[in-house]
Structure 1
């Protein structure tokens, strides 16, 4: 292991000293109360608040328009990025005979459970609190040690707290004099991450001894990929050569060996990892705990971070924890004499979306139950301790209660990060087009970011499928920039729940809707396009996500434009040979992009500004302090001129070509990444 710290062995019993951290989330997105349990006025009773001292590091003044700190003084960091900045804000409340007042909210990693005590200054209670940079926060006042909780009477901006009261909301603030939170600074900045999704069972077979198909159709059965196979590719330098620096591995916990019927009538194995049977042991098809530890150590030695999928929403019906603690799970009962399966007896959203079972054989955890929540959080912590992984991809975030996320983030901040000295990255999956819903979970007390599904669908629609105009994409991106505050969103054009992007990039896209799941052709063995233009469009999609903010994701095989319709066809075994010239060109283009992104800090940490757009072209800049990179894209099947550049001389980092002027001529289905000469 790369680090060691002590945890009690994982048992299927509630650990002593469990982290029962009370939450205070809010349903700020509508009347269907999707988002958990904020404190009720007279019933919420968290532990006593502390002094709220956050770890700050001096003060610094920013140059206007520059994220680099003034280094003329002797205090303060040389540089502090927006994600680490804090702005002091004074909360006030007129005294009404209170004996004590504490301001509580979602403004720190400790969440609502630890507030900041206020002092009575001449009839006004006051407290100065460092708030996250440009990030909306929710808060309320705890009166007389928890006798009651009230919203801010002087702030008209408030949202329903789900218990008949309100939480006050403060829009994101910025400031000229900020502090920098050193607790968020480690050797690795997650905005520098370039993620490669290793779908373990379908990636590489390194140990035939753990192969064990269960007899369903081969497309839905175990196919032999394992951690030994991943280690072999690390050793070969495959990931380093491609230029990625972070691996996302599928769920490591042991899954059922039984089959289950899908909504399409086909039987599936648990090769995907989302039917956990034993949350305390490793998946036998993938290898041993020692092998997973070796994989993480080998990855770290190669300069690769590792995040693993953690599925906390449910278990398989054969799981021991379900047999022993059925009261930790929602009953499969819609209260009207029927099942509560998502989409069949219960809806996918609102309260029902939190309690519904994904299928009749996947019991859903009830995380309003403190014992269930503590068991799950401790289980997640044990995986971190046992493996040394650097982050989690958290599955089905919108289907779990907020308190799980609040407890998990607080536990990581208290138990993991002080030991490693590094920020533990938690990225969520909320497969939804509602940006407000996705953004709700992106805050210091919950998630670092989420997969940006709305952006992916816009890229697929306007750039890859050529529907609408590139100006539509520009408008969406303009509104999307900053939508998630300081969150580190993961951008992507392909993943395991949607058809392979190559088929949306065909001259005549196989599907006309970017939101399709492609299940209609999932068993048809769809073929790879024979012409080069689809591969060029995928390359253009990669050019976009590798030159905008976020942590870009490459779904295994997309570097070669692998074929595949919906699940399970989009999860074919990785192609390791026999590439066409178009496939090889796509892979080489992606490797060039990752190298450029790694070399140009403006692409990783800068802010994006649209310079020009029309039906087929888009030009934008990425700016970080004095560093600037210009990107011009042409989706058309013919040469186009892309304008909007400031006059000057530039070099295209992709081709090495020198250009000058306020516009560039782009060949069909191509782009340029330009730096001033």
Structure 2
């Protein structure tokens, strides 16, 4: 929503002392790549070699990441060859509220002869389960779960099995492009909002020339218009699909509202005239879905369902409609849509902003629930259905949706969002539901009945910003070394089922926070490095328009500058790199749904290496966050790359030979290498 509100309501909660302590502890247990290659010998010596242990829910280690209730799940666990005497799966079954164990048996060795693989099967059922591994070598025991490795049995952080829960494949495999419509491209000058065209709350609209200041000359920044619209998005689909390589578009709100940001909805049934018409939206969707102008695309709309604007027909604070709104009459048919403490002037609102009255969702089957998602003519179902056929909803401020003036994040909030999911999936089972949340979104994603994924502030945007720029996403000073970056990523991945991780929206900037380019001090090489990580990490890469060329901008509204079409071309080095990276991601499923393995961290030289792999490809990514070049020695033996085999840097085209289990590559400052075989 609005940057200032987001910071106040979340308080950068993921940077608490307790979480930092957890990250530091994880850093100690996850110092992968630290062992010299010659130290890989293992035996039954009452000592479990932690550096050989690995499991995640990638395709080599879990045969059904999204099982049906009839599918048993066979898990594979990796150890050093000959190192252990037994391996056991211990899982909790919510069906009988009990723990169960499954003995694992040796299955095979890897191609290098370095590792053993052990297998065990959890029986099929409809109930949700959580599992961990007990690894034994004689008298020594290690425990392994999604949170990491420990010498004592963990009480949390287990892997998830949620039968019947799937997240959209197109979201797992796609690249998303976020657009703030007024600032992207003016495709139809006939619908431009002019200076003084209308006034709201004592201020009038201002028309600014493209590329000029986003700040009002003396009025309200939210009433500054530049003329970007849906026709402009449609006309630039070739750039989005083919130059950038994104196939998913997420639009900030497009429905009628007095502000430029449209989070103060006045009519859910109508596209704002400044952006075009409902017919324009249909045309855009049809052209985006077409494969004639690039790959088949998908459209997500911003669903602002926690509140309306005070100018909405249901509320009608300014008497804009002939029908009586809730603010005008207690006999209004919409009076029960809002929560009044003292009618008409005192009512529940979003974070105390009286322009944003909160919707009161009441009980199941209420008029508000039916209007937003329950009925066939509801907002949610209308745009998922013909003649529109959008592909998903991004839910704004969804944690706050509630009944009776309550502020969300409670049982009723989860009930509402579960009902909303049922409504969405009843129209299109493959539609995506993306929730907005700044912290751990586990409460909405780990039961399989609410969101598919969330905007990944906590598990991507913040750690990337701190590691690369030395600032948090609000622009405040905050810096972490590579080892803490790695453990932060590990800890936040463990918050979610794997299929949720794969559809988390990973962005460098958004309409609510300072631009990454700003935090990077305008250093385009830091944008290069961030793009390389973004396109090779777990989740859906999400490019906030202009981030592909390092657009700068401070806090709202400066983070919503107009797109520079002289810079945003294929001749720009950052844009070209973005296109190359999206093509690489599209070519290698391992970068989208493969395993993720940390390989090495070097805090002194600011280096980080990790692997993405599946049955077809093994890919090692080496990142250099220093300002000078470094030779990075990557322990690719952890990915079972055999000595004498060749790897290719997909960025430079250079070839390297695996020697003594490693590959050494010189990486420029604030850049990376993507080593594939």
Deviation, structure 1 residue 356: 4.3
Deviation, structure 1 residue 555: 0.4
Q: Distance in 2 between matches of 1:90 and 1:306?
A: 36
Residue number in structure 2 paired with 1:331: 340
Q: Distance in 2 between matches of 1:537 and 1:358?
A: 38
Residue number in structure 2 paired with 1:415: 427
Instruction: Return closer, same or farther for 1:134/1:643 CA change in 2, 3 Å cut-off.
Output: farther
Residue number in structure 2 paired with 1:622: 612
TM-score normalised according to structure 1 size: 0.64
Residue number in structure 2 paired with 1:469: 481
Instruction: Return closer, same or farther for 1:85/1:328 CA change in 2, 3 Å cut-off.
Output: same
Deviation, structure 1 residue 425: 0.4
Q: Distance in 2 between matches of 1:424 and 1:384?
A: 8
Residue number in structure 2 paired with 1:511: none
Residue number in structure 1 paired with 2:379: 379
Deviation, structure 1 residue 657: 1.1
Deviations 1:105-136 (A, max 9, x none): xxxxxxxxxxxxxxxxxxxxxx9841457599
Gaps of 5+ in 2: 1-13, 15-54, 73-92, 99-122, 133-154, 198-203, 209-213, 215-220, 316-324, 326-331, 403-412, 472-478, 638-642
1:424 aligns with 2:431: yes
Structure-to-structure mapping, 1:442-521, within 5 angstroms: 442-454=446-458, 455-465=460-470, 467-485=479-497, 486-487=499-500, 488-506=503-521
Deviates more, 1:630-639 or 1:282-291: 282-291
TM-score normalised according to structure 2 size: 0.64
SS at match of 1:276: coil
Q: Distance in 2 between matches of 1:460 and 1:69?
A: 31
SS at match of 1:406: helix
8 Å CA contact 1:542–1:590 kept in 2: the answer is: yes
SS at match of 2:674: strand
Deviation, structure 1 residue 90: 7.7
SS at match of 1:502: helix
Q: Distance in 1 between matches of 2:178 and 2:537?
A: 19
Q: Distance in 2 between matches of 1:358 and 1:595?
A: 45
Residue number in structure 2 paired with 1:47: none
Say which of 237, 250, 253 aligns to 1:251. Answer: 253
Residue number in structure 2 paired with 1:275: 264
SS at match of 2:597: strand
Say which of 47, 59, 65 aligns to 1:82. Answer: 65
Structure-to-structure mapping, 1:89-488, within 5 angstroms: 91-92=95-96, 129-131=125-127, 184=166, 188-213=169-194, 214=197, 215-216=204-205, 218=208, 219=214, 220=221, 221-234=224-237, 236-256=238-258, 270-302=259-291, 303-322=296-315, 323=325, 324=332, 325-331=334-340, 356-369=350-363, 370-377=366-373, 378-385=378-385, 386-401=387-402, 402=413, 403-417=415-429, 423-430=430-437, 432=438, 434-435=439-440, 437-454=441-458, 455-465=460-470, 467-485=479-497, 486-487=499-500, 488=503
Residue number in structure 2 paired with 1:609: 597
Deviations 1:70-124 (A, max 9, x none): 9xxxxxxxx9651455567583499xxxxxxxxxxxxxxxxxxxxxxxxxxxxxx
8 Å CA contact 1:84–1:132 kept in 2: the answer is: no
Q: Distance in 2 between matches of 1:196 and 1:669?
A: 24
Deviation, structure 1 residue 250: 1.8
Deviation, structure 1 residue 206: 0.9
Q: Distance in 2 between matches of 1:284 and 1:328?
A: 26
Residue number in structure 2 paired with 1:554: 543
Residue number in structure 2 paired with 1:656: 653
Q: Distance in 1 between matches of 2:379 and 2:247?
A: 27
8 Å CA contact 2:131–2:158 kept in 1: the answer is: yes
SS at match of 1:321: coil
Deviation, structure 1 residue 626: 4.3
Residue number in structure 2 paired with 1:598: 586
Deviations 1:433-459 (A, max 9, x none): x32x55544542100000111121111
Moved over 4 A (4+): 64-70, 84-90, 132-136, 169-175, 183-186, 337-341, 355-358, 578-581
Q: Distance in 2 between matches of 1:340 and 1:537?
A: 46
Instruction: Return closer, same or farther for 1:327/1:505 CA change in 2, 3 Å cut-off.
Output: same
Q: Distance in 2 between matches of 1:562 and 1:93?
A: 51
Instruction: Return closer, same or farther for 1:438/1:69 CA change in 2, 3 Å cut-off.
Output: closer
Deviation, structure 1 residue 561: 1.1
8 Å CA contact 2:384–2:424 kept in 1: the answer is: no
Deviation, structure 1 residue 248: 0.6
Say which of 521, 537, 542 aligns to 2:531. Answer: 542
Deviation, structure 1 residue 340: 7.2
Deviates more, 1:81-90 or 1:322-331: 81-90
Gaps of 5+ in 1: 1-28, 30-63, 71-78, 95-126, 137-168, 257-269, 342-354, 418-422, 507-528
Q: Distance in 1 between matches of 2:97 and 2:592?
A: 41
Deviation, structure 1 residue 171: 8.3
Instruction: Return closer, same or farther for 1:468/1:201 CA change in 2, 3 Å cut-off.
Output: same
8 Å CA contact 1:133–1:172 kept in 2: the answer is: no
Matched residue count: 474
Q: Distance in 2 between matches of 1:495 and 1:135?
A: 35
SS at match of 1:413: helix
Residue number in structure 2 paired with 1:585: 573
Residue number in structure 1 paired with 2:33: none
SS at match of 2:236: helix
SS at match of 1:309: strand
Deviation, structure 1 residue 199: 1.2
Root-mean-square deviation (CA, aligned residues, Å) is: 3.4
Instruction: Return closer, same or farther for 1:135/1:596 CA change in 2, 3 Å cut-off.
Output: farther
Deviations 1:201-249 (A, max 9, x none): 1111111111113444542312111111111112x44422211110111
Q: Distance in 1 between matches of 2:595 and 2:59?
A: 13
SS at match of 2:577: helix
8 Å CA contact 1:559–1:586 kept in 2: the answer is: yes
Q: Distance in 2 between matches of 1:476 and 1:619?
A: 15
8 Å CA contact 1:201–1:224 kept in 2: the answer is: yes
SS at match of 1:632: strand
Deviations 1:602-625 (A, max 9, x none): 100012111100110000001223
